[in-house]
Structure 1
C-alpha cells in the first residue's frame, strides 16, 4: 500500500469526484484513477460507488477513510523522527564517563548538545574507566569518556587532550618542605589512593616497584575518586591526582614535584570498532573535539 495512493484516496473522498480531487492535489485525473485502482486491488474491495456525476464512499471506503488519516499522520511523525535521528538532532546516546570527565566536561558538553539537538536523550553512567570498558564491550554503552591507552587493539579511541597526574599533599605538608624529594622519601608516608584496578594506581605502583621500592601503602583505599582530594585536604596522607584536580582545590592541595611520579596520559573518547555510531553520538564526539580541551582546563 503506497502512502501517496492513500493521500489521493482521501482527496477523492473529500472532493466527491476525481476532477475536483485532481485540482486539489495538482495531479491529472488518470493519476488519481490509477491510484484508486491500486488501492482496491491491494485491499480486494471497491472503495467508491458511483453517485450521479460523482463518487461516494463504499462501506469499505468509509472504513479505510477512518484509518487512513491517522495512518498518514503517523507516517509524517515517523518521517520527521527518523529524519531528526539521521541529522543527529534526536535519538539516544548511552555515554559512560569517569569521575574527571563527569566533573569538568559533562555539564557543559551536555548543555551544548541539547542546545543543538533538543530531542536527543542522554543516558549517563559514571564509573571508573575499567568498569565502563566492560559495559562498552557488552554493548550497554555507546561511548566512554575517559583515559585512553597509547595503543588500543580492541576499541577505537580518539584523543581529546593530555592530562598530567602527580603526587599531591595538603598545603603545609612536611614533604613539601623537603629540599630534595625522592621516591625513598615518598615511600615513607601513608597514602590515599584508588583501587588497584585503576590504571593510574597501577602506574604508580610500578614506578616504585621498578626501582626496587615497596608499593605506596594505601591507608585509605576507595573506588570514589572525587573523595580522595577531600580526604587528603584534612590529613597528612599523600595521593596521586590530576593537576586539574589540584587547580580546582583552590590551593588546599599542592603538587609534590618529582619526574619519576609524573604521569602524562591521554584523555579521550572510546567506542566499539564493530558498531556504527549514531549521528547523535557523532555530534557529541564533534563537540568534545571542539570544546573538550578548553572546558577541561578552565578553572572557575
Structure 2
C-alpha cells in the first residue's frame, strides 16, 4: 500500500469527485484513478460508489478513511523523527565520563549540544576511566570521555587535548621551600592518592620504582578523585593531580616541580570499533573537537 495513494484517496473522499480532487492535489484525473485502482486491488474491496456525477464512499471506503488519516499522520511523525535522528538533532547518546571531564567539560558541552539539538537525550554516567571502559566493552555506553592511551587496539580513540599531571601540595608546604626537590625527598612524605586501578596512580608508582625507590605511601586512598584536592588543602599530604585542578584550586594548592613526576597524557573520546556511531553521537564528538580544549583550559 503506497502512502501517496492513500493521500489521493483522502482527496477524492473529501472532494466527492475525481475532477475537484485532481485540482486540489495538482495531479491529473487519470493519476488519481490509477491510485484508487491500486488501492482497491491491494485491499480486495471497492472504495467508492457512483452517486450522480460524483462518488461516495463505500462501507469499505468509510473504514479506510477512518484509519488512513491517522496512518498518514503517524507516517509524517515518523518521517520527521527519523529525519531528525539522521541530522543528529534527535536520538539518545549514552556518554560516560571521568570526574575531570564531568567537571570541566560536560556542563558547557551538554548546553551546546542541546542548543543545536533540543530533542537529543543524554544519559550520563560518571565513573573512573577503567570502569567506563568495561561498560563500553559490554555495550552499555556509546562514548567514553576521559584519558586515552598513546596506542589502542581494542577501541577507537580520538585525542581532544593534552593534560599534564603533577605532584602538588598545599600552599606553604615544607616541600615547596626545598631548594632542590628530588624523588627521594618526595618519598619521605605521606600522600593522598586515587586507588591503584587508576592509570595515573600506576604511572606514579612506576616513576618511583624505576629509580629503586618505594612507592608513595598513601595515607588517604580513595576512588573519589574530586575529593583529593580538598583533603590535601587541609593537610600536609602530597598528591598527584592535573594542572587543571591546580588552577581551579584558587591558590590553595601549588605544583611541586619535578620532571620525573610530570605526566603528560592524552584526553579524548573513546568508542567501539565494531559499532557505528549515531549522528547525535557524531555531533557531540564534533563539539568536543571544536570546543573541548578551550573549555578544559578555561580558568573559572
Q: How does 1:1-300 map to 2 (within 5 A)?
A: 1-300=1-300
**1:91: Cα distance to partner?**
0.7
**1:42: Cα distance to partner?**
1.1
**1:154: Cα distance to partner?**
0.6
Q: Following the alignment from structure 1 to structure 2, what is the Cα–Cα distance between the partners of residues 93 and 28?
A: 47
**1:11: Cα distance to partner?**
0.3
**1:44: Cα distance to partner?**
1.2
Q: Following the alignment from structure 2 to structure 1, what is the Cα–Cα distance between the partners of residues 35 and 177?
A: 89
Equivalent position SS for 1:62: helix
Equivalent position SS for 2:131: helix
**1:112: Cα distance to partner?**
0.6
Q: Following the alignment from structure 1 to structure 2, what is the Cα–Cα distance between the partners of residues 299 and 209?
A: 35
**1:151: Cα distance to partner?**
0.3
CA-to-aligned-CA distance 1:213-249 (integer Å, 9 cap, x gap): 1111111111101000000001111100000000000
Q: Following the alignment from structure 2 to structure 1, what is the Cα–Cα distance between the partners of residues 26 and 144?
A: 52
Normalising by structure 2, report the TM-score. Answer: 0.99
Equivalent position SS for 1:107: helix
**1:52: Cα distance to partner?**
1.0
**1:210: Cα distance to partner?**
1.1
**1:13: Cα distance to partner?**
0.3
**1:269: Cα distance to partner?**
0.6
- Unpaired segments of 5 or more residues in structure 2? none
**1:41: Cα distance to partner?**
1.1
CA-to-aligned-CA distance 1:46-96 (integer Å, 9 cap, x gap): 111111111111111111101111110110011011001101111111111
Equivalent position SS for 2:225: coil
Equivalent position SS for 1:236: coil
Q: Following the alignment from structure 1 to structure 2, what is the Cα–Cα distance between the partners of residues 25 and 294?
A: 53
Q: Following the alignment from structure 1 to structure 2, what is the Cα–Cα distance between the partners of residues 47 and 191?
A: 83
Q: Following the alignment from structure 1 to structure 2, what is the Cα–Cα distance between the partners of residues 125 and 247?
A: 25
Equivalent position SS for 1:234: coil
Q: Following the alignment from structure 1 to structure 2, what is the Cα–Cα distance between the partners of residues 196 and 60?
A: 72
**1:34: Cα distance to partner?**
0.9
Equivalent position SS for 2:220: strand
Q: Which runs of 4+ in 1 moved over 3 A?
A: none
What is the RMSD of the two structures over their aligned residues, measured on CA atoms? 0.6
Equivalent position SS for 1:169: strand
CA-to-aligned-CA distance 1:176-212 (integer Å, 9 cap, x gap): 1111111111111111100100000000000011111
Q: Following the alignment from structure 2 to structure 1, what is the Cα–Cα distance between the partners of residues 194 and 64?
A: 66
CA-to-aligned-CA distance 1:149-183 (integer Å, 9 cap, x gap): 00001111111100000000001111111111111
Q: Following the alignment from structure 1 to structure 2, what is the Cα–Cα distance between the partners of residues 60 and 92?
A: 41
**1:45: Cα distance to partner?**
1.1
- Unpaired segments of 5 or more residues in structure 1? none
Equivalent position SS for 2:254: strand
Equivalent position SS for 2:265: strand
Equivalent position SS for 1:55: strand
Q: Following the alignment from structure 1 to structure 2, what is the Cα–Cα distance between the partners of residues 116 and 192?
A: 41
